[in-house]
Structure 1
């Protein structure tokens, strides 16, 4: 903020009237624009000379606006004393100096400064402090604006959190009488084909049961190795079929995930079976010709039997076929060539049974079993 006064100075001295400027003690925001007349040529520099009522002097640079106008500020030193300050303006062009006739500055008492402050330095300190207060208030206002914006963003974030929390709560399902530990995300209930199941567990079970291809050999090998360590000399049938669930001629064979039991249901329109092992030109792992094997099986229900078919070398049609009861011993023929092991429901029979604990005994040692697997 500035207060700019206009002073007209005629360097020819035509008028005897001494022009007067008015100012207040210690102000530093006043400036004087001087309109020049009676001069020619370029002005390179301007200075203002002041003599205060006490006789103290100041000599201060001004600013050249153009060759007909200059500008200078009234400094606190010029205005330090109350009364008339005699002044002259000095113009220079590099070679010549031209000085104006007298003009004066009438300095009024600064009542604010004199009310409680005895020196100009203390007054200047007050002015600087007031400037700092103004700046602080401006900063506070700016901070309030920024805080308001941050609060708006926080409010928006809280609203988004509330929305997401509600969405998650909607996605979760807690069974009646259950706790949050029973909660399940709704997305699990949606199958890969878009089918929506009643519970996540049902979705998992149904989709696993419909998987068409499984690496049954690796599953068997891990089961067999674990069983072999705990039950030396026993053999778990090699499960080389490719489905957890098989439906054949009206009968459904549903295996559990470990292939250790199978639920069978349905009416056989023709002989219905599910192979546990099938190879017409090779015997399964650990089978030795001329050795006796004992098959064991546990069947709860009716209509289902375990059959063993042994192919004779040189003929794919000649077989020994054995129907296994709870505990049946078989001697593997010397000319045995291939074999199948299957669960079977005869044509026209109705099956409703659970089969478990299927295994075959072996007289081989653990070391021999390991050699067979490694080879």
Structure 2
């Protein structure tokens, strides 16, 4: 709602800027213009305020247009009186602190009675939140890694099982192939034997045909007579020799 423009110095202790504000307000924003240095995008900024009681506030701030901007918190202006503040700039491991500025908090007659002043370290709170977020992210990543490891293990087991099945199938295929080769050999042997038997049958047929040709015109009665004559001749020969 309201911006306070405050000059701050880093190279010399100039006139201390004085900010007047009202106790307990939450709609104020402090813009600290760097008067003697140039702020760059690779810098970060923090605002430190020490209250009259000794309590302090430490907050992150934004850098824009060569100025450091921070929204006033309730604790920054919880106490009446003069608080002293400084700006800290960071770049990598380097740190630069501004000279002091003054925060003059006036008493609120409206609703400031219930404000309890205390330390406020929003930087620490943010760091804790970031740490918790990092822990949660790490736990999530660990769970995802464990789940991925389980899936990888299951996939490896499935692959080993498939490999074993493939080996068994290959062995069965080789056995069946050997059987097929043996059967083919037996079939070839049977074919050779069949060819030989066919040749023998053809020879037998030829011989039978030749015998038939010899016998088809033969006179059976004449053959019987010839046999009888041969028997008689043999018998007479035996008698003469006797």
Q: TM-score range by the shorter chain?
A: 0.3 to 0.5
TM-score (norm 2): 0.45
More strand by share: 1
User: Which structure has the bigger radius of gyration?
Assistant: 2
